[in-house]
Amino acid sequence: LGALASVPENIMMEMCQLTKANSIDGCKLAQCDIVYTPFLNLKKEERMDTGSVGFKDESFRTVLKNVEKDKDIVKALEKTRVEKKVDFVKEKEQRDEEERMRR
C-alpha cells in the first residue's frame, strides 16, 4: 500500500474515473466507492459469482468513498487511448526465437 500512497492525487482521480467508467454497475451510478488492493490480496473461489472477488487480508484494501463521475476527465482520457492490433502468434514466435538464441 505504500506504493499507492505515493501516487499523486490527480493520477489517483484519473484511475478512479477509469475504474468507475469501466464498471458495469459503477458507470450507472452518480457516485460509488472504489476499492484498490494488491492483486496478490484478491481471493477468488469457485462458488463466487462471475465478477465477484474477496480479499485475503481486509487491511490491505484502500477504499475511496463516494467517487463522483467526472465526464471531463473520462473524455480527456478517452482521447489519449491508443489501440493497436497485436499479432500474438508472431510475437510468440519472436519470443521463442529469442529464447532459443539465449541458450
Would the pLDDT of 67 be above 60? yes
Q: Give the predicted TM-score (pTM) of the model.
A: 0.66
* Position 80 confidence tier, pLDDT thresholds 50, 70, 90: very high
* Residue 60 burial (C-beta neighbours within 10 Å; 0-12, 13-18, 19+): middle
Average pLDDT over residues 35-46: 89
Would the pLDDT of 102 be above 60? yes
Cβ(66)–Cβ(92) below 8 Å: no
Task: Report how many domains make up the chain.
Answer: 1
Please give the share of the chain, as a percent, with pLDDT higher than 70.
Answer: 99
* Position 62 confidence tier, pLDDT thresholds 50, 70, 90: confident
Sequence-distant (6+) residues with CB within 8 A of 44 are: 52, 53, 54
CA distance 36 to 16: 9
Of 40, 20, 38, 39, the closest CA to residue 30 belongs to 20
33: containing domain: 2-102
